[in-house]
């Protein structure tokens, strides 16, 4: 979230799209409801009518996967009717930038595409530069190569008619949606977007979110109270794990994973440190070398960062087809892995292609399952089509403590790092994850020291005891290391710091190894003043109280800033656009309200300090699949073509040749989507063991429209009996004639019958000899 | 003192069922073995072990869907007909401080059919094995130590409110005035007769047949439910405890 949960109450129009917030984030509706009480409109765009839709002023039931048709249409509607917040767009976005004349877009593909690698050479998407190295701008935004004009041209095709044709929404519905949301394009109004997996889990996931971010920039909704782009995280610490970067392509603090050709820290830093010649651009990532050196130092305290850089693993390519989560199982299936730790994860159940994952696991030598309960991943060898006698995989189960039995922090969707104290002691025979990891790595270190290996130094040099006290994992030490400390007596910005002192904030981090920090974004969270995440102080100024901002409650990255990009909420003189709900304000001598995005005087630095040029990016030249979001169908879809171009699918989407796709396949007439229910969490490892929750939602089920002809429905239901999916019955544009409900008759799709109760949780568990029967008699 | 009341603003209910589970958790009531019957509503009905249930009802009005949610519980009537029908001393206690209607184990000596038919809201349920009758007791054990009912503390949206009756009546009337601007059919359900005052967005029958006491109900023991109220003191406006 650029904003945070409480801030939703400040919104004038809440768009929930790609999310079922009322069911999957029930507490969010505390704040949605408060906004509604003050007159906010709530719009829900979703294939299914859900408990979220039930509370909305408007429900728009689009066809699954047609989001960019709808959002592209919204962009066109805003541009055509000049509903954008002009001053904001001019001052804070790159709308006036001139794009390279070589930039081109033809029939669904941008310039620079290489079909062999399925990637783009992005060089032609660059901005034109002045001689002094600053992007060329046309303040009138009339130049045909300026971003605003390129957007107008690009989205010309995104008419109401085309959006209606692809999404199944009527033109009237689209107009109502567009006009209601675009009404927030004034200084005193704010619109917010709440999205989740309904947007991210698509081959155009990034572009779904990009499209909405562009809408928010056009309407001046970024940086303001009640605005922003807000990802609702589905697990209490997903934001924390994202920030600490568990994925292959990034390191803690969103630093890049080194590539094989970056053979020194200097070369690595050079590739990822943006350079701006504009003195008014803060270009915050210019500090990259300080953050990378401090991260490396945090792991190898006894080595200098340039040496220890060589201890980091490097990638041969950044391609998802080599390293991403899906790829991991693809390669595992081909026998390229020997072992797997499934840690707090249940891929035999959670993967979109769970069957493929299970088969892949059968190719392993060993599998270690770390979880609070045994689960499908641990007993995959008992699953369908498995013959335990022929499976060599040795499975180990390590029971771990549950969240309340251990101390540590979780970071919520709103970027608040909140410290939790330990409640009860862990059950006998279980350990907190941190203890398991600590002891495991100690043993690995011991083995490398004893037996050597191809390249033992990264392991043997690791200063692992920095996270332990007297040989026992210490959560406070981890948190202190994540914040970072001075490794020697150092003077920074005229202040002297002693060796061992905590670094007060990332502005003090150094690139020479004199500081360490496990994650620069969290530098300021555990200072000499103590553990900021453990604060529970509700003190606030009246200005902060007005927008529900609690600066002394827990701690928020970066540097306790609660609303990101908040310099865009004020004009160039530092005066808030929204007089009734200001986030920050320049009082003549200082900023008041939230922690501003940099303390410079108003008008002296561009607002978007994390961007190289300092502007919000309507045109995004760095994205893998194009600088402007474009409509593509999901890889499996009911249409052979769409009206936007001849390019049916995202040309850069990761695809596995062996996996069959159903495109206009008469055997698969329904568009299905999976979803979660309020009552169960993740793959249900915890909730399926709680009788009261099993009672409320006892079975996996499938919803279908009553409008489907019964023969088709029953055939499909049979097929569904072994497939983990549920079918929303949104209108599909190109299904065989007579089978597709028109949008008006599709409305009662919620009056669904529950068919094919195909996986009785209780039965399944008994079959698998799970000892605990979830239902008390 | 006019005792306590709930104010339940159904316009804010998202049917998260936190209240339903919180109730079972506090009361240590066992889960029932259920199956999915084509609705999220589960268990399908109140029972001896399920004294609070969120009901789901779908209505299509003017081609638009209304999905109405109704967290059902004992209304703790101001003049409880069930207590009037009780034939066993000590089986039902009408707590003078709070107005809570509390059933005891002695209800096993009552005639369950009589008790059920006396209730305008179809609430009491019997344990088929022991004959003991159960329903919500307002979490009177929690109230005595200064806590609010478990269901209220679990509610994220402000649907469930609990406090002194005057305060709740005041809240209900203010909420009604606000909500009516958006939902002209909004109404407070039996506010003078009960201690659980529901605010609906749409007519009460669109939520559940027993949400509102039905004046046209077939007479039971010769009386309609409205008449029952009248007979039992007609306390409507007096709101005594």
What is the pLDDT tens value at each position of chain B, 241 positions in all? 699 999 999 999 999 999 999 999 999 999 999 999 999 999 999 999 999 999 999 999 998 899 999 999 999 999 999 999 999 999 999 999 999 999 999 999 999 999 999 999 999 999 999 999 999 999 999 999 999 999 999 999 999 999 999 999 999 999 999 999 999 999 999 999 999 999 999 999 999 999 999 754 444 454 555 555 555 544 444 443 3
- Pairwise CB contact (< 8 Å): A51 & B15: yes
| Cα–Cα dist A522/A252, whole Å | 10
Q: Give a three-class secondary structure readout of A39-60.
A: CCEEEEECCCCCHHHHHCCEEE
- Note whether B216 contacts A: Cβ–Cβ < 8 A: no
- Provide the pLDDT for residue A659: 82
| Cα–Cα dist A311/A296, whole Å | 9
pLDDT < 70 regions, chain A: 708-777
- Provide the pLDDT for residue B231: 52
Torsion of CA B206, B210, B213, B217, to 10 degrees: 100
**Residue A644: which of A105, A201, A46, A18 has the closest Cα?**
A105
**Residue A43: which of A31, A57, A30, A33 has the closest Cα?**
A57
**pLDDT tens-digit series, residues B103-131:** 999 999 999 999 999 999 999 999 999 99
How many structural domains are present in chain B? 1
- Pairwise CB contact (< 8 Å): B25 & A692: yes
- Provide the pLDDT for residue B240: 37
Question: What CATH number does the domain containing B215 carry?
Answer: 3.30.70.20
- Pairwise CB contact (< 8 Å): B69 & A754: no
- Provide the pLDDT for residue A692: 97
Q: What angle do CA A750, A678, A533 make, to 5 degrees?
A: 145
CA distance between the termini of chain A: 43
**Residue A194: which of A167, A230, A162 has the closest Cα?**
A230
- Provide the pLDDT for residue A745: 29
- Provide the pLDDT for residue B239: 40
**Residue B69: which of B182, B134, B157, B176 has the closest Cα?**
B157
For residue A777, give how far its alpha carbon lies from the nearest alpha carbon of chain B (Å).
7
- Provide the pLDDT for residue B226: 52
Give the nearest partner residue to B16 out of A26, A774, A775, using CB atoms.
Answer: A26
- Provide the pLDDT for residue A511: 98
| Cα–Cα dist A23/A53, whole Å | 10
- Provide the pLDDT for residue A664: 86
Domain-located, residue B106: no
Could you tell me the residue range of the domain that residue B11 belongs to? 4-76+140-238
Domain-located, residue B97: no
Domain-located, residue B206: yes
- Note whether B38 contacts A: Cβ–Cβ < 8 A: yes
- Residue pair B133/B107 in contact (Cβ under 8 Å)? The answer is yes
- Pairwise CB contact (< 8 Å): B21 & A762: no
Domain-located, residue B86: no
- Provide the pLDDT for residue A758: 27
Question: Coil, helix or strand for B198?
Answer: strand
- Pairwise CB contact (< 8 Å): B21 & A777: no
- Note whether A385 contacts B: Cβ–Cβ < 8 A: no
- Note whether A39 contacts B: Cβ–Cβ < 8 A: no
- Provide the pLDDT for residue B29: 98
Domain-located, residue B99: no
- Provide the pLDDT for residue A517: 98
DSSP 8-state class, residue A688: G
Q: Which residue of chain A is at minimal alpha-carbon distance from B38?
A: A754
Give the nearest partner residue to A776 out of B12, B31, B157, using CB atoms.
Answer: B31
- Residue pair A613/A135 in contact (Cβ under 8 Å)? The answer is yes
Mutation to test the A interface, candidates B21, B23, B28, B36, most A Cβ within 10 Å? B36
Give chain B positions within 8 Å (CB) of A756: none
Mutation to test the A interface, candidates B44, B63, B67, most A Cβ within 10 Å? B67
- Provide the pLDDT for residue A396: 97
- Residue pair A129/A136 in contact (Cβ under 8 Å)? The answer is yes
A492 — phi, psi (to 5°)? -130, 130
| Cα–Cα dist A629/A623, whole Å | 10
- Pairwise CB contact (< 8 Å): B33 & A775: yes
B109 — phi, psi (to 5°)? -90, -5
* Alpha carbon of residue A248 to chain centroid: 14
- Note whether A51 contacts B: Cβ–Cβ < 8 A: yes
Question: Coil, helix or strand for A306?
Answer: helix
Beta bridge partners of B71: B54
**Residue B119: which of B133, B105, B99, B108 has the closest Cα?**
B133
Buried b / exposed e along A612-643 (16+ C-beta atoms within 10 A) = bbbbbbbbbbebbbbbbbbbbbbbbbbbeebe
- Residue pair A536/A525 in contact (Cβ under 8 Å)? The answer is no
- Pairwise CB contact (< 8 Å): A698 & B36: yes
A563 — phi, psi (to 5°)? -120, 115
| Cα–Cα dist A182/A84, whole Å | 8
Give the nearest partner residue to A754 out of B17, B34, B37, using CB atoms.
Answer: B37
| Cα–Cα dist A286/A118, whole Å | 31
Domain-located, residue B103: no
- Note whether B218 contacts A: Cβ–Cβ < 8 A: no
Q: ω before A282 within 30° of 0 (cis)?
A: no
Size of interface A-B (CB pairs under 8 A): 106
- Note whether B17 contacts A: Cβ–Cβ < 8 A: yes
Query: Number of C-alpha atoms within 13 angstroms, CB side, residue A344?
Result: 15
| Residue B82 in tokens | 């069930």
- Note whether A679 contacts B: Cβ–Cβ < 8 A: yes
| Cα–Cα dist A324/A290, whole Å | 28
| Residue A521 in tokens | 């974004």
Domain-located, residue B110: no
Domain-located, residue B109: no
A478 — phi, psi (to 5°)? -60, -50
- Note whether A176 contacts B: Cβ–Cβ < 8 A: no
Neighbouring residues of B80: CB distance < 8 A, sequence distance ≥ 6: B92, B94, B101, B232
- Provide the pLDDT for residue B237: 41
| Cα–Cα dist A312/A321, whole Å | 21
């Amino acid at each position: 979230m650029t904003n945070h949960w409480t801030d939703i109450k400040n919104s004038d129009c809440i768009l929930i799209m790609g999310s079922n917030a009322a069911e999957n984030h029930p507490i969010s509706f505390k704040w949605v409801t408060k906004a509604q009480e003050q007159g906010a409109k709530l719009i829900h765009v979703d294939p299914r009518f859900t408990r979220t839709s039930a509370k909305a002023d408007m429900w728009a039931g689009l066809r699954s996967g047609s989001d960019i048709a709808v959002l592209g249409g919204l962009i066109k509607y805003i541009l055509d009717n000049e509903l954008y917040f002009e001053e904001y767009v001019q001052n804070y976005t790159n709308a006036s930038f001139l794009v390279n004349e070589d930039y081109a877009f033809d029939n669904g593909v941008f310039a620079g595409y290489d079909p062999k690698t399925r990637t783009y050479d992005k060089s032609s998407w660059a901005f034109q530069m002045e001689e002094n190295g600053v992007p060329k701008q046309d303040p009138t935004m009339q130049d045909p190569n300026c971003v605003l004009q390129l957007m107008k041209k690009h989205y010309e095709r995104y008419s109401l008619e085309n959006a209606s044709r692809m999404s199944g929404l009527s033109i009237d519905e689209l107009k109502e949606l567009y006009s209601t949301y675009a009404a927030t394009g004034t200084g005193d109004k704010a619109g917010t977007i709440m999205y989740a997996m309904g947007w991210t889990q698509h081959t155009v996931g990034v572009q779904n979110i990009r499209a909405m971010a562009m809408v928010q920039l056009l309407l001046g909704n970024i940086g303001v109270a009640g605005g922003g782009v807000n990802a609702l995280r589905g697990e209490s610490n997903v934001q924390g794990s994202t920030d600490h970067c568990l994925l292959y392509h990034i390191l803690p603090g969103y630093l890049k994973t080194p590539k094989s050709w970056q053979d020194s820290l200097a070369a690595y830093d050079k590739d990822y440190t943006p350079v701006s010649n504009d003195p008014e651009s803060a270009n915050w990532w210019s500090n990259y070398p300080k953050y990378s050196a401090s991260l490396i130092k945090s792991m190898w305290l006894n080595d200098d960062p340039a040496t220890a850089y060589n201890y980091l693993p490097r990638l041969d390519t950044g391609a998802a087809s080599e390293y991403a989560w899906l790829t991991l199982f693809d390669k595992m299936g081909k026998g390229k892995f020997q072992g797997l730790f499934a840690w707090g994860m249940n891929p035999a159940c959670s993967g979109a292609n769970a069957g493929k994952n299970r088969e892949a696991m059968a190719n392993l030598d060993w599998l270690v399952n770390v979880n609070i309960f045994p689960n499908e991943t641990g007993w995959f060898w008992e699953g369908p089509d498995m013959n335990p006698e022929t499976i060599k995989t040795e499975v180990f189960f390590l029971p771990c403590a549950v969240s309340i039995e251990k101390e540590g922090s979780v970071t919520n969707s709103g970027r608040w790092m909140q410290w939790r104290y330990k409640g009860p002691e862990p059950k006998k025979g279980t350990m907190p994850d941190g203890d398991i990891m600590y002891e495991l790595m100690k043993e690995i270190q011991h083995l490398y020291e004893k037996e050597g290996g191809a390249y033992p130094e990264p392991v043997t040099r690791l200063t692992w005891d920095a996270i332990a006290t007297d040989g026992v994992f210490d959560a406070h030490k981890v948190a202190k290391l994540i914040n970072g400390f001075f490794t020697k007596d150092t003077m920074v910005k005229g202040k002297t710091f002693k060796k061992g002192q905590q670094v007060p904030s990332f502005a003090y981090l150094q690139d020479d190894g004199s500081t360490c920090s496990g994650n620069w974004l969290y530098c300021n969270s555990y200072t000499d003043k103590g553990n900021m995440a453990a604060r529970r102080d509700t003190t606030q100024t009246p200005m902060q109280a007005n927008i529900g901002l609690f600066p002394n409650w827990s701690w928020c990255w970066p540097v306790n800033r609660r609303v990101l990009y908040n310099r865009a909420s004020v004009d160039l003189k530092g005066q808030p656009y929204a007089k009734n709900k200001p986030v920050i304000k320049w009082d003549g001598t200082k900023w008041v309200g939230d922690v501003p995005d940099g303390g410079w005087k108003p008008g002296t630095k561009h607002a978007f300090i994390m961007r190289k040029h300092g502007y919000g990016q309507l045109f995004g030249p760095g994205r893998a699949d194009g600088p402007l979001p474009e409509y593509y169908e999901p890889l499996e879809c009911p249409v052979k073509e769409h009206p936007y171009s001849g390019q049916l699918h995202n040309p850069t989407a990761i695809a596995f040749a062996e996996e069959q796709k159903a495109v206009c396949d008469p055997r698969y007439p329904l568009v299905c989507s999976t979803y979660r229910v309020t009552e169960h969490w993740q793959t249900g490892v915890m909730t399926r063991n709680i009788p009261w929750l099993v009672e409320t939602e006892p079975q996996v089920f499938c919803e279908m429209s009553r409008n489907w002809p019964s023969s088709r429905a029953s055939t499909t239901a049979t097929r569904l009996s072994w497939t983990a999916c549920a079918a929303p019955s949104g209108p599909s544009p190109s299904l065989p004639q007579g089978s597709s409900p028109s949008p008006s008759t599709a409305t009662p799709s919620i009056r669904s019958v529950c068919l094919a109760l195909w996986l009785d949780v209780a039965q399944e568990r008994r079959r698998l000899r799970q000892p605990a029967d979830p239902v008390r008699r | 003192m006019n005792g306590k009341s709930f104010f339940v603003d159904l316009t804010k209910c998202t049917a998260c069922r936190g209240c339903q589970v919180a109730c079972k958790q506090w009361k240590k009531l066992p889960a029932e073995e259920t199956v999915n019957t084509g609705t999220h509503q589960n268990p399908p009905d109140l029972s001896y072990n399920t004294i609070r249930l969120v009901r789901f009802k779908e209505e299509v009005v003017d081609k638009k869907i209304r999905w109405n949610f109704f967290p059902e519980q004992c209304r703790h009537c101001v003049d409880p007909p069930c207590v009037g029908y009780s034939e066993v001393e000590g089986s039902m206690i009408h707590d003078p401080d709070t107005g809570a209607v509390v059933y005891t184990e002695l209800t096993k000596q009552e005639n369950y059919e009589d008790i059920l038919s006396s209730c305008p809201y179809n609430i009491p349920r019997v344990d088929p094995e022991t004959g003991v009758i159960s329903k919500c007791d307002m979490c009177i054990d929690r109230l005595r130590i200064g806590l609010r009912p478990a269901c209220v503390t679990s509610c994220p949206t402000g649907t469930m409110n609990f406090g002194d009756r005057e305060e709740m009546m005041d809240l209900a009337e203010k909420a009604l005035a606000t909500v009516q601007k958006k939902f002209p059919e909004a109404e407070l359900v039996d506010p003078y007769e009960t201690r659980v005052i529901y605010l609906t967005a749409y007519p009460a029958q669109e939520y559940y047949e027993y949400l509102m006491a039905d004046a046209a109900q077939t007479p039971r023991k010769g009386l309609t439910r409205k008449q029952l109220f009248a007979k039992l003191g007609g306390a409507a406006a007096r709101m005594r405890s």
